[in-house]
Amino acid sequence: LKYDLRDIGEVGLAARHHLDSAQVRHLLVPVGVELCGEGEEVRVELQLTLASTTSGATAVNVRGSISGRFNVVCARCLGTAPVVVDEPELSLTFMPPSDKSPAEREELNEEDLDTFVHDGVRIDLEPVIREQLVLAIPITPLCSEDCKGICGGCGVDLNQASCACKEASSPATTWAAALSRLKETNN
Ligand SMILES: [Zn+2]
Ligand SMILES: [Zn+2]
């Protein structure tokens, strides 16, 4: 998923990838996304072109689509919650390495997730794809709209059985944490 700036050249370069389960896992596990089941696939079709910044340095425009599917854990019952990725018109720019301090750069990244920086030699599409996958995950992923969840009292899956407890379950969400970790890995 890394491309040498020299290979992009005058005419640009097509970056096509078909990521399988193992590769999707590799992208999402480091940011704390719990995948569930198999059959993940993500298609990446991006066109890379060189551009100049106002100061004459090299930037890289990235345009195209990222689409696919993967399964995360249902926030209520821990079953399988399908996530569909469908970004037909992705458009972003890798900016040249700046002379800003790491702290200033971090500030910029926090304001704008779409800012990516190349190192002067190559660009890495991995954080771009990871971001699209994480953004596709709902705050509360569910196996189905009307998932009844797991009883907080006795642990029974209320989709499959009922119980005598009166206590309602309170599913926790961890995706906000995944999003904040995503920002860290983009640096
Ligand atoms: Zn569920
Ligand atoms: Zn119960």
Alpha carbon distance 7, 137 (integer Å): 33
CA of 138 to the centre of ligand 1 (A): 13
pTM to 2 decimal places: 0.76
* Helix (H/G/I), strand (E/B), else coil: 114: coil
pLDDT at 155 over 60: yes
CA of 73 to the centre of ligand 2 (A): 21
Contact 77, 143 (CB under 8 A): yes
Closest ligand relative to 155 C-alpha? 2
Alpha carbon distance 121, 112 (integer Å): 23
pLDDT at 169 over 50: no
pLDDT at 168 over 50: no
Token digits for 63? 């345009």
The whole-number average pLDDT for the span 101-112 is: 55
pLDDT at 56 over 90: no
Closest ligand relative to 149 C-alpha? 1
Region for 88 from its dihedrals, namely left if φ exceeds 0, alpha if ψ lies in -120 to 50, beta otherwise = alpha
CA of 72 to the centre of ligand 2 (A): 24
Q: What is the pLDDT of residue 172?
A: 43
Q: Which residue has the higher pLDDT, 113 or 26?
A: 26
CA of 166 to the centre of ligand 1 (A): 19
